Amino acid sequence: MKFTATALLAQGALAAAATSGDFTILTMNVAGLPEVLNPNGVPGGKEASSKTIGSKFAQYGYDVIHVQEDFNYHAALYSTDTHPYRTPTSGGVPFGSGLNTLSNFPWLSGSFQRQKWAKSSCASEFDCLTPKGFTFMRVALSSSSDTTDAVYVDFYNMHTDAGTETADLEARNDNLRQVGEWIQTHSQGNAVLVFGDTNSRYSRSGDTGIRSLLKSENPTGAAGLQDIWVELHQNGVVPNGAGVCGNPAQDAVCEIVDKVLYRSSPLVTLTPTALEYAGPRFLADDGVSVLSDHNPVLVNLTWSAADRRFRQSGFWGGAAYGTWFNDVSVLDSTTGSIKAQKITFRGESRLDSVGLTVASSSGQGTTGLVHGGQGGSEVSLTLADGESWVKSELCQGQKSDKTRNFYIKATTSKGRTLEAGTRTSDCKVFEAEEGWQVVGFLGESGDEVDLLGFIYGKI
């Protein structure tokens, strides 16, 4: 197995966006409950163990690391780690969720969110001691200096309800249902990676929630994920029993509760190439004692945005205010090339809505793509034969202490323009590469357009 770590400069620091690459991810329950509740038996105690774990994170340099149970020894863990992007703690027991991320890649500003489980059980374990749940962030694997092109993947970290009592199973299945619903709403059209402590086993008959996230087990489900362990170590077939792992595990044939799930999108293809249980990489200084009661899971993936029908730009505006939208799924359901026929904007003091009428060369009719509200005045521009939307300008500003898009200007290949809203001093130009044109949108909106990016298709 080959595991590599690839650092990415801060978003906007690259001259041109890469169209392919590889990266490593790790999920690790770091056993950070207070030692009086959950001792680990390692010489030096949990604070020393947390410092050792952090130093190994720095040593190995894995690109994105999700940790769970990062509670009372968070400062020790971070004190020896060197990743440039790290989430702040939400607190120790009983205040925090224990979920954090350490990354070589930046994530979209404002996209990081913590969500508490809607249902939990106090039947066993320590679930009622902390507000467990999941986290979400939109990670930039690549972005050009002018944000003309970008590659994003939605990353989820989770720690579900533990235990095997009936109430535990019901809560855990509901936890995973909640994640699936969030993916349907907030990751529509996007590539997704979900990894963390699921507390679930396919061999446990009551653990139905984890199967509901899988495309193979739930073909009509919105999540549509694949389990990388199943794909690489179980010949793609979800097992009903795979043996019990030791700690550290000597191979990855047995099943553990820490899992990595993924899916690709029309904008980027993810391909897992290796998965290992990385317990032997995380031993105490004596070379024998484990630093956690969980086997960490290490995965290498390649990604590619090359040879895709569609690309995306970076974003402008503010995240986490509105409802997510992404036109790429609608566009990808067509065949042939896509041609923009009419651009429509609404705006006055701010940008209220964006719209685009597109048609496929295969003769499937026209499709209207509209996002935002009904405020402001409407303006439109019908494109001539051979004319494409190739350049965009967005301006953002503050409204009610939230960043929103205030202005848009579209420029066509024939030099004609259409604009709406009110220009501010904080603007960004997005220009399609030669041979590409704007054919759709992605972002967040409500009554107005909060966050906006562009989908490009070939001319």
pLDDT tens figures, 179-213: 999 999 999 999 999 999 999 999 999 999 999 99
401 contact partners, CB below 8 Å, separation of at least 6: none
Q: What is the mean pLDDT of residues 157-175?
A: 96
Q: In which element (H, E) is residue 212 found?
A: helix 209-212
Do the beta carbons of residue 314 and residue 451 sit within 8 Å? no
Strands 226-227 and 258-263: antiparallel
Secondary structure class of 276 (helix, strand, coil): strand
What pLDDT does 342 receive?
98
Instruction: Give the span between the Cα atoms of 224 and 231, in whole angstroms.
Output: 14
CB atoms within 10 A of CB 75: 13
- Asked whether the predicted pLDDT for residue 6 surpasses 50, the reply is no
For the chain, what is the mean pLDDT? 93
Kindly indicate the confidence band of residue 401, based on its pLDDT and cuts at 50, 70 and 90: very high
Residue closest to 172 by CA, chosen among 129, 143, 137, 212: 212
Position of tokens 């968070």?
74
Concatenated DSSP letters of 262-317: EE--SS-EEEEEEEEE-GGGSB-TTSSSBSSSS--EEEEEEEE-TT-SEEE---EE
- Asked whether the predicted pLDDT for residue 218 surpasses 50, the reply is yes
What pLDDT does 241 receive?
81
Q: What is the mean pLDDT of residues 21-50?
A: 91
Q: What percent of the chain has pLDDT over 90?
A: 84
DSSP symbol at 377: E
- Is the pLDDT higher at 307 or at 22? 22
What pLDDT does 3 receive?
60
What pLDDT does 145 receive?
64
- Asked whether the predicted pLDDT for residue 236 surpasses 80, the reply is yes
51 contact partners, CB below 8 Å, separation of at least 6: 76, 77, 79, 80
94: preceding bond cis by omega (within 30 degrees): yes
Residue closest to 248 by CA, chosen among 289, 285, 298, 203: 289
Paired strand residues for 271: 302
Strands 113-116 and 377-382: unpaired
Instruction: Give the span between the Cα atoms of 99 and 277, in whole angstroms.
Output: 20
Q: What is the pLDDT of residues 108-152, one digit of tens each?
A: 999 999 999 999 998 887 788 889 999 999 999 998 766 668 899
- Asked whether the predicted pLDDT for residue 22 surpasses 80, the reply is yes
What pLDDT does 5 receive?
46
Whole-prediction pTM: 0.95
The CA distances from residue 293 to 28, 34, 143, 246, 282, in Å, are 10, 14, 38, 10, 11
- Asked whether the predicted pLDDT for residue 11 surpasses 60, the reply is no
Paired strand residues for 340: 358
Do the beta carbons of residue 54 and residue 78 sit within 8 Å? yes
* Least-confidence region, from 34-48, 94-108, 127-141, 426-440: 34-48
Residue closest to 391 by CA, chosen among 414, 423, 366: 414
Q: What is the pLDDT of residues 63-92, one digit of tens each?
A: 999 999 999 999 999 999 999 999 999 999
Q: What is the pLDDT of residues 344-372, one digit of tens each?
A: 999 999 999 999 999 998 887 789 999 99
- Asked whether the predicted pLDDT for residue 339 surpasses 70, the reply is yes
111 contact partners, CB below 8 Å, separation of at least 6: 136, 137, 138, 319, 320
Q: What percent of the chain has pLDDT over 70?
A: 96
- What amino acid occupies position 274? A
Position of tokens 């086993």?
201
Kindly indicate the confidence band of residue 10, based on its pLDDT and cuts at 50, 70 and 90: very low
Strands 338-347 and 310-312: unpaired
Q: What does the longest C-alpha to C-alpha distance in the chain come to?
A: 74
